C-alpha cells in the first residue's frame, strides 16, 4: 500500500507506524497521528465520519482513547490505513493534514502513575561494580523479580521542555551535608510503555494478557542527579535525585506497529517464578542512541549506542509483576524500563557508566570533556526498528536542554 501523503525515504513515520501524539497549532491540544513529515488532526477526521470512536479522538489527551482497549485501537488503525491509502482521503476537510514542522507538541498522555524499573542486567552489573567493588554486582533478588520504584508523575514532560538543574542535599566525602545544585547531572536512556485498560483493585494482569493492556511505547530520559541520589537513597531508594524531571518522546508508537519487531528475550537463569513466565516473543529489536550537544555547538555527538532487546526483564513480565499484589493499573500510566546498557564499552545508557563515575571523562568533538552534564548541554535520545524485509519505524526525538539552577 502507498500513502496518499508522501513519506520521505528514511522517515521515522511510514505508513506502517502511525504513532499517536498531541499537537497544538494555536487551537488548543488535538490528538494527531504522524505520517511522514505531516500530522493528521484526528478530531477533524473523526468529525466528518472518517474514523470511529470520535468522542475519544476529539479529546485533548490520549487517555480516553487508551481506556477503550485493544479492539478499538485496532479498528482505528485499520480505518487510518484505509483513509491514507484510498479515495476516502479526498474527503478530508482543509486543515486536517498539517506539516509537523509548524506544530507544537504537547505531552500525549496524562500519567496518573509512573514506575521506573531496573531491568538491564548490564546496567545493574555496571553500577554494582562501581559502588560495591570486589563483591557480587547484582543483589540477591535481581534475577528473581523486576526491581522497580515509584516515580513522580507530575514532573513528566514532553520532548523539547528545558530541564532545570536541580538543587538538593549532598554530602561530598566526609564533610557535613549541605544544600547545593547537583554537580553530577546525568541522563538515563530508557524506553517506557503506556497502559490502556487496567485491572480492578485486588486483581492482577497475567503476563500472557499484557498485549491487551499495553497501548504503545515512548523513549524516556529519566534524568538523574547522582550526588543527591547517592546521599539519600539508602534505605528506600531514589527520591529527589530523580523526581525533578522525566522527558518522554512526543509520539507514542503502538504495540501493534511494533509487533513485527518483537524477538525472543534473553535467557533467564534461574527460571522465573510462575507468574513471570511468558509465551511468545516480548523483547523488542529497537536500536537506540544518545547524542550530546554542548551549548553553541553546531551538532550533537553520539555518545552511546545500544539495543533494547538485551534487557533482561520484558514489558510483559514488568506489568505482571506490578499487579501481582493486586494494585490497579489505569489508562495513561507510564512504566519505564530503567537505564538500558549493552555489554560493551560505548553501549552504556548513562554518563555514570560511560565515564566510570567520572574517572574516565568523555572527550567531545569541541575539545571539551564531560564527566556529567553542564549547563547548556542538550541531550537527545533516538530509537528505531529496522529488520530485513520490514520498513524502518522510528520514535522521533526525545530531547532536553539543561538550564542553570535557580
Q: What is the mean pLDDT of residues 158-162?
A: 98
CB 230, CB 182: distance < 8 Å? no
pLDDT confidence band for 26 (50 / 70 / 90): confident
Domains, the chain, with CATH or none: 20-106 (2.30.30.230), 114-284+307-345 (3.90.850.10)
In the predicted structure, residue 1 carries a pLDDT above the cut 90:
no
Which segments of 97-181 does DSSP mark as H helices, in order? 121-131
**SS3 at position 54:** helix
**Active-site residue (options: 123, 144, 178, 321):** 123
Res 78: pLDDT: 98
Radius of gyration of the chain (CA): 21
Q: What is the dihedral of CA 195, 201, 207, 209, to 10 degrees?
A: -70
Q: Phi-psi region for residue 255, left (φ > 0), alpha (ψ -120 to 50) or beta?
A: alpha
Q: What are phi and psi of 253, to 5 degrees?
A: -85, 125
Residue range 344-365, pLDDT digits in tens: 999 999 999 999 999 999 999 8
Round to whole Å and give the CA distance between 77 and 155: 31
Res 27: pLDDT: 86
Cell 491487551: give the residue.
212
Distance of CA 92 to the CA centre of its chain: 32
Please give the grid coordinates belonging to residue 342.
549493552
Please give the grid coordinates belonging to residue 238.
531514589
In the predicted structure, residue 102 carries a pLDDT above the cut 90:
no
Q: Is 123 a catalytic site residue?
A: yes
Question: In the predicted model, what is the mean pLDDT of the chain?
Answer: 97
Residue range 372-391, pLDDT digits in tens: 999 999 999 999 999 999 99
pLDDT confidence band for 247 (50 / 70 / 90): very high
Percent of the chain clearing pLDDT 90 (strictly above): 97
pLDDT confidence band for 259 (50 / 70 / 90): very high
Residue range 117-154, pLDDT digits in tens: 999 999 999 999 999 999 999 999 999 999 999 999 99
8-state DSSP, 367: S
CB 284, CB 263: distance < 8 Å? yes
Res 389: pLDDT: 93
CB 62, CB 106: distance < 8 Å? no
Amino acid at each position: 500500500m502507498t500513502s496518499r501523503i508522501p513519506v520521505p525515504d528514511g522517515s521515522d513515520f511510514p505508513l506502517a507506524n502511525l504513532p499517536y501524539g498531541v499537537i497544538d497549532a494555536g487551537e488548543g491540544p488535538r490528538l494527531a497521528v504522524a505520517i511522514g513529515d505531516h500530522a493528521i488532526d484526528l478530531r477533524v477526521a473523526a468529525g466528518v465520519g472518517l474514523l470511529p470512536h470520535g468522542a475519544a479522538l476529539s479529546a485533548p489527551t490520549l487517555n480516553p482513547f487508551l481506556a477503550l482497549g485493544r479492539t478499538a485501537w485496532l479498528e482505528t488503525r485499520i480505518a487510518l490505513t484505509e483513509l491514507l491509502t484510498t479515495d476516502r482521503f479526498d474527503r478530508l476537510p482543509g486543515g486536517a493534514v498539517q506539516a509537523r514542522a509548524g506544530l507544537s507538541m504537547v505531552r500525549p498522555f496524562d500519567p496518573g502513575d509512573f514506575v521506573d524499573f531496573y531491568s538491564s542486567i548490564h546496567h545493574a552489573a555496571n553500577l554494582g561494580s562501581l559502588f560495591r567493588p570486589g563483591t557480587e554486582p547484582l543483589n540477591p533478588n535481581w534475577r528473581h523479580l523486576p526491581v522497580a520504584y515509584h516515580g513522580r508523575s507530575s514532573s513528566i514532560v514532553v520532548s523539547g521542555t528545558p530541564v532545570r538543574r536541580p538543587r538538593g542535599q549532598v554530602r561530598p566525602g566526609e564533610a557535613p551535608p549541605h544544600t547545593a545544585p547537583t554537580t553530577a547531572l546525568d541522563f538515563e536512556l530508557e524506553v517506557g510503555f503506556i497502559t490502556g485498560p487496567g485491572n480492578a483493585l485486588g486483581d492482577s494482569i497475567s503476563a500472557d494478557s499484557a498485549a491487551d493492556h499495553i497501548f504503545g511505547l515512548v523513549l524516556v530520559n529519566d534524568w538523574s542527579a547522582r550526588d543527591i541520589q547517592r546521599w539519600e537513597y539508602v534505605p528506600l531508594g531514589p527520591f529527589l535525585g530523580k523526581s525533578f524531571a522525566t522527558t518522554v518522546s512526543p509520539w507514542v508508537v503502538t504495540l501493534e506497529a511494533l509487533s513485527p519487531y518483537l524477538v525472543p528475550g534473553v535467557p533467564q537463569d534461574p527460571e522465573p517464578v510462575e507468574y513471570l513466565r511468558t509465551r511468545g516473543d516480548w523483547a523488542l529489536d529497537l536500536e537506540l542512541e544518545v547524542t550530546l550537544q554542548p551549548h553553541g555547538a553546531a551538532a550533537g555527538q553520539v555518545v552511546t549506542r545500544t539495543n533494547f532487546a538485551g534487557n533482561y526483564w520484558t514489558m510483559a513480565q514488568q506489568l505482571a509483576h506490578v499487579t501481582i499484589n493486586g494494585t490497579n493499573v489505569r489508562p495513561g500510566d507510564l512504566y519505564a524500563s530503567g537505564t538500558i546498557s549493552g555489554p560493551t564499552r560505548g553501549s552504556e545508557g548513562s554518563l555514570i557508566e560511560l565515564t566510570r563515575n567520572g574517572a574516565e571523562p568523555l572527550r567531545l568533538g569541541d575539545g571539551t570533556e564531560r564527566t556529567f552534564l553542564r549547563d547548556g548541554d542538550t541531550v537527545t535520545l533516538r530509537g528505531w526498528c529496522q529488520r530485513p524485509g520490514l520498513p524502518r519505524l522510528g520514535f522521533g526525538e526525545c530531547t532536553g536542554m539543561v538550564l542553570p539552577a535557580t
